[in-house]
């Protein structure tokens, strides 16, 4: 078994297994924690809990001017790498081919030039996020190993992915044989590392953000506060 | 996992003679009872972006990163990860999360009590929507159980346990009210066997803010409602809510509700006090165990309703005013519009502070910080933020609807040699009341 076979086979399925099981377990655990109903009478005239949760989830997507320049820098840089990662993962033709191979799902790819721009922006943005975390006094104080591991497992697939690009995506997809098996295997393994880490670290915020914002939205709505 | 968490200049007080091991056990056991679904989701959702620091007036006023709100939760977070998270058995075995030590709790006392008003501005700033203020309260529950309160707050706790009030024993209330009544020339009913409204007070209204008490009486008498104060339940300020003393919070809450039920009141009227509103309006039912048999309203709501239904009328002034939004009444209480309707009824031209409503700055005294004497220098630094915003409005009046905010702001103004008077919304209504 070559390294690529390993990355495409057992490593991929093991990482997906850990990803699904770990994420499910963490969510189930949260769901099973005790819940106390709020017995106080709700403020009259406020929207339903479902509407309040939805509004809070959407409202949390952009920053409030009142919280200053640092908030804007953190938020806009966050937009760049979140959108960049989504575009690169979901829009690049070889990635779509990979997803199709394991799920049968497929969709049209974005042009390579868009991919290169998105990848460059994402890498620069992640580097800036690292710089900000290393130099900002607040972030220095609150950062822990979760932050460093999460940054590393997010950055690695970007860098290892750049190492396997040497031709247009159309040619890559059309090839029957991989011309750089080892760099591709390393790229796949780096993605698998991210999948394995996902349930254990703060990458879970990709799911938890909705619950976290939603519960606060409901709490504040109950009191008559519009967030 | 460990966070760089050393807190500079630690200062803490300790109550009781329990061993450190037992203190720690008590704190962690209290933390564990608070880990419901919402608390757990909020403890797990943090991405360590640090934006909460940009909302915290203690961080903004000092520039010190130790005041970052999410850092204040570190003992709680560590206890959660180690004892109650999805992977805690493995994390514990691997030694990834160190149990908080007694020294950690001692160091964190300053962050949890001296430099947090539980005002919730950080909650509004958090992109994950984490209700940090509520989690600080959970942390205080554990700190109280560990006997790690600032001594001034512990003293008030002991007093309230004995008297159901931090101001006076109930049996002295009739005499105090008689004095206030005489001084201000207004009738204040006390201990009536039955009434529609049980009126409550904040401790300051029985001391330095007696005009507020008398003005409330003036408005209530003018509106024609049947009301009384009662020595069995009169102090709404609820120091248990601030200190993290759950048993006291329940006791004080029950005193108000049981008294209201006893005299057949349909409403408990809360004074101009923020934490009274937080404790009674939103949490009383939790301690009562079922939906309350009485309605609980804040003085601002009462004034708003009385003005709206024409039970009271006021002269319109032509003055300008700015309004300080008390956190527990507005950001965490939902009465932003009610206060502004009362201001409008008074004919005041409102000039909003740069930060107002749900993103307004706390006065710096909430959450018991105003009573915690050792936090005074820090509180004065925070006051400068509010002073600058008020001065920028250039208005004639600086109004608020919380007595604790007034005291904090008055002390700040005095320290800064700033000759700005802080008006009570209630007192402004009373001063402009058209007598029936």
Candidate from A31, A75, A142 with C-beta closest to B127: A75
Residue A68 in contact with partner chain B when CB distance is under 8 A: yes
Claim to verify: residue B112 and residue B238 sit in the same structural domain: no
Contact A164/A189 with Cβ under 8 angstroms?
A: no
Count how many residues are written for chain B: 436
Would you say residue A206 lies in a domain? yes
Is residue A175 very low, low, confident or very high in pLDDT (cuts 50, 70, 90)?
Answer: confident
Tell me if B74 is assigned to some domain: yes
Percentage above 90 pLDDT, chain A: 84
Residue span of the structural domain in which B200 resides: 166-305
Both B300 and B170 in a single domain? yes
B285 contacts chain A (CB < 8 A): yes
Describe the crossing of helices A145-163 and A112-135 by its angle, rounded to 10 degrees: 150
Q: Tell me which of B149, B179, B205 is where a domain ends.
A: B149
Q: Do B42 and A78 touch (CB under 8 A)?
A: no
- Under DSSP, the state recorded for B339 is H
Say yes or no: A141 contacts chain B, CB-CB below 8 A.
Answer: yes
Per-residue pLDDT of B24-34, as tens digits, reads 999 999 999 99
B420 occurs within a structural domain = yes
pLDDT attached to residue B161: 97
Contacts of B25 (CB under 8 A, 6+ apart): none
User: Does B15 map to a domain?
Assistant: no
Q: Are residues B93 and B195 in the same domain?
A: no
Distance, in Å, from the CA atom of B385 to the CA atom of B382, rounded to the nearest integer, reads 6
Residue A206's domain is classified under what CATH number?
1.20.950
Q: What does the pLDDT average to over A71-93?
A: 94
pLDDT at A4: 96
| Residues of chain A contacting residue B241, judged by C-beta atoms under 8 Å apart | none
pLDDT in tens, A2-12: 999 999 999 99
CA distance B407 to B364: 11
Task: Give the phi and the psi of residue A88 in degrees, each rounded to 5.
Answer: -65, -45
Say yes or no: B296 and B397 in one domain.
no
What pLDDT does B299 receive?
98
Please state, as a whole number, how many other Cβ atoms lie within 10 Å of the Cβ of residue A3.
15
DSSP letters along A54-83, please?
A: HHHHHHTTS--GGGHHHHHHHHHHHHHHHH
Residues B301 and B319 in one domain: no
Q: Is residue A73 part of a domain?
A: yes
Q: B89 in contact with A at a CB cutoff of 8 Å? A: no
pLDDT digits (tens, 9 = 90+) for B104-162: 999 999 999 999 999 999 999 999 999 999 999 999 999 999 999 999 999 999 999 99
Do A15 and A188 contact (CB within 8 A), yes or no?
no
Q: Do residues B81 and B174 both lie within one domain? A: no
Q: Please report the pLDDT score of residue B3 as a whole number.
A: 44
Final residue belonging to a domain, choices B287, B305, B323: B305
Is residue B129 exposed (0-12), middle (13-18) or buried (19+ Cβ within 10 Å)? buried
Do B301 and B325 lie in one domain? The reply is no
How many domains is chain B built from?
3
B335-B336-B340-B341 Cα dihedral, nearest 10 degrees: -40
Backbone angles phi, psi at A184, to 5 degrees: -65, -40
| 3 state DSSP class of B26 | helix
Six token digits for residue B323: 């309004």
Q: Please, which residues have CB within 8 angstroms of residue B213's CB and are 6 or more apart in sequence?
A: B177, B180, B188, B201, B205, B206
Strand partners for B313: B434
Same-domain status, B385 and B430: yes
Query: Which CATH number fits the domain that encloses residue B64?
Result: 1.10.1060
B236 DSSP 8-state letter = -
Whole-angstrom CA distances from A225 to A37, A50, A67, B123, B376 are 19, 15, 19, 12, 30
d(CA A52, CA A48): 6
Distance CA B162, CA B172 (A): 14
Residues B61 and B192 in one domain: no
Q: Is residue B35 part of a domain?
A: yes
B51: which chain A residues are within 8 Å (Cβ-Cβ)? 63, 67, 70-71, 74-75
A173 contact partners, CB below 8 Å, separation of at least 6: A93, A94, A97
pLDDT for A70 beyond 80? no
pLDDT score recorded for residue A177: 84
User: Could you tell me if B172 and B300 lie in one domain?
Assistant: yes
Q: Does A145 touch chain B (CB under 8 A)?
A: yes
Number of domains in chain A: 1
Structural domain of A110 = 48-222
Mutation target vs A (from B4, B49, B246; most A CBs, 10 A cutoff): B49
pLDDT at B93: 85
My answer on whether B258 and B335 are in the same domain is no
Out of B41, B70, B295, the one facing A208 most closely (by C-beta) is B41
Residue A106 pLDDT: 96
For tokens 């949390």, name the residue.
A60
- Report the C-alpha dihedral over residues A205, B327, B159, B370, rounded to 10 degrees: 100
CB B248 within 8 A of CB B237: no
A180 in any annotated domain: yes
How high is the pLDDT of residue B2? 40
Written as six digits, the tokens of B33 are 């009872």
Q: Is residue B201 part of a domain?
A: yes
Last residue of a domain, one of B124, B149, B174: B149
Q: What does B399-435 look like in DSSP terms, one character per residue?
A: EES-HHHHHHHHHHHHHTT--PPEEEHHHHHHHTEE-
Q: What is the pLDDT of residue B94?
A: 85
| pLDDT tens digit sequence for A90-136 | 999 999 999 999 899 999 999 999 999 999 999 999 999 999 999 99
Q: Which residues of B touch A68 (CB under 8 A)?
A: 54
- Among candidates B378, B309, B287, which has minimal Cα distance to B9? B378
Beta strands across the sheet bearing B295-298: B227-228, B197-199, B267-270, B295-298
**Nearest residue in B to A60, CA atom:** B127
Task: Answer whether B227's CB lies under 8 Å from B271's CB.
Answer: no
Contacts of A139 in chain B (CB under 8 A): 48, 50
Longest Cα–Cα distance of chain A, Å, equals 67
Q: Kindly give the parts of chain B with pLDDT less than 50.
A: 1-10
Q: Is residue B55 part of a domain?
A: yes
User: What is residue A109's three-state secondary structure?
Assistant: coil
| SS3 label, residue B298 | strand
Contact at CB, B68 and A141, closer than 8 angstroms: yes
Q: Considering chain A, what is the average pLDDT of its residues? A: 95
Residue B157 lies in a domain: no
* Residues in CB range of A207: below 8 A, 6 or more apart: A23, A27
Domain of B296, CATH number, reads: 3.40.50
Contacts of B178 (CB under 8 A, 6+ apart): B188, B190
The alpha carbon torsion through B268, B270, B275, B277 (nearest 10 deg) reads 60
Mean pLDDT across chain B, nearest whole number? 95
């Amino acid at each position: 078994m070559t390294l690529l076979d390993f990355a495409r086979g057992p490593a991929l399925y093991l990482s997906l297994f850990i990803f699904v099981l770990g994420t499910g377990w963490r969510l189930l655990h949260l769901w099973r924690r005790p819940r106390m109903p709020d017995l106080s009478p709700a403020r009259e005239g406020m929207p339903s809990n479902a509407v309040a949760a939805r509004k809070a989830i959407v409202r949390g997507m952009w920053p409030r001017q009142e919280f200053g320049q640092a908030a804007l820098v953190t938020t806009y840089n966050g937009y760049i790498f979140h959108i960049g990662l989504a575009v690169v993962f979901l829009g690049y033709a070889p990635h779509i081919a990979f997803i199709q191979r394991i799920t049968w799902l497929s969709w049209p790819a974005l042009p390579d030039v868009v991919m290169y721009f998105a990848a460059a922006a994402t890498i620069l943005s992640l580097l800036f996020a690292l710089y900000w975390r290393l130099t900002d006094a607040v972030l220095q104080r609150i950062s822990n190993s979760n932050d460093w591991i999460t940054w590393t497992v997010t950055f690695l697939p970007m860098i290892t992915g750049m190492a396997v690009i040497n031709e247009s995506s159309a040619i890559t997809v059309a090839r029957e044989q991989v011309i750089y098996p080892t760099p591709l295997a390393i790229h796949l393994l780096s993605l698998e590392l991210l999948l394995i880490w996902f349930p254990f670290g703060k990458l879970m915020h990709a799911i938890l953000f909705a619950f976290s914002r939603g519960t606060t939205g409901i709490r504040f709505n109950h009191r008559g506060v519009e967030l | 996992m460990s966070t760089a968490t050393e807190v500079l200049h630690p200062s803490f007080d300790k109550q009781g003679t329990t061993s450190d091991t037992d203190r720690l056990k008590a704190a962690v056991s209290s933390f564990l009872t608070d880990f419901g679904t919402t608390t757990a989701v909020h403890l797990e959702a943090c991405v360590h972006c640090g934006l909460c620091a940009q909302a915290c007036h203690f961080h903004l006023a000092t520039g010190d990163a130790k005041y970052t709100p999410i850092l204040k939760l570190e003992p709680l977070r560590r206890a959660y990860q180690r004892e109650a998270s999805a992977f805690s058995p493995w994390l514990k075995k691997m030694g990834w999360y160190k149990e908080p030590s007694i020294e950690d709790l001692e160091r964190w006392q300053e962050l949890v009590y001296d430099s947090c008003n539980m005002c919730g501005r950080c909650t509004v700033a958090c992109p994950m929507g984490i209700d940090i203020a509520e989690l600080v309260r959970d942390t205080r529950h554990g700190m109280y159980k560990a006997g790690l309160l600032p001594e001034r707050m512990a003293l008030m706790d002991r007093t309230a346990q004995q008297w159901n009030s931090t101001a006076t024993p109930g049996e002295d209330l009739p005499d105090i009210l008689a004095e206030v009544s005489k001084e201000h020339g207004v009738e204040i009913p006390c201990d009536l066997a039955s009434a529609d409204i049980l009126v409550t007070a904040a401790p300051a209204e029985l001391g330095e803010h007696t005009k507020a008490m008398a003005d409330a009486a003036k408005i209530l008498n003018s509106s024609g409602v049947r009301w009384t104060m009662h020595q069995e339940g009169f102090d709404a300020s609820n120091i248990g809510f601030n200190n993290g003393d759950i048993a006291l919070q329940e006791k004080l809450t029950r005193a108000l509700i049981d008294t209201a039920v006893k005299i057949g009141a349909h409403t408990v009227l809360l004074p101009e006090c923020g934490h009274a509103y937080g404790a009674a309006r939103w949490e009383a039912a939790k301690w009562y165990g079922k939906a309350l048999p009485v309605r609980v309203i804040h003085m601002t709501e009462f004034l708003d309703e009385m003005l709206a239904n024409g039970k009271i009328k006021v002269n319109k002034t032509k003055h300008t005013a700015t309004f300080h939004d008390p956190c527990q009444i507005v950001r965490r209480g939902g009465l932003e519009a009610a206060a502004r309707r009362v201001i409008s009824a008074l004919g005041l031209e409102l000039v909003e502070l740069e930060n107002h409503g749900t993103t307004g700055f706390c006065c710096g005294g909430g959450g018991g910080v105003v009573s915690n004497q050792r936090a005074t220098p820090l509180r004065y630094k925070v006051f400068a933020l509010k002073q600058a915003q008020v001065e920028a409005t250039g208005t004639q009046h600086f109004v608020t609807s919380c007595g604790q905010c007034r005291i904090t702001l008055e002390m700040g103004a005095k320290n800064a040699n700033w000759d700005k008077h802080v008006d009570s919304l209630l007192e402004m209504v009373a001063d402009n009341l058209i007598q029936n």
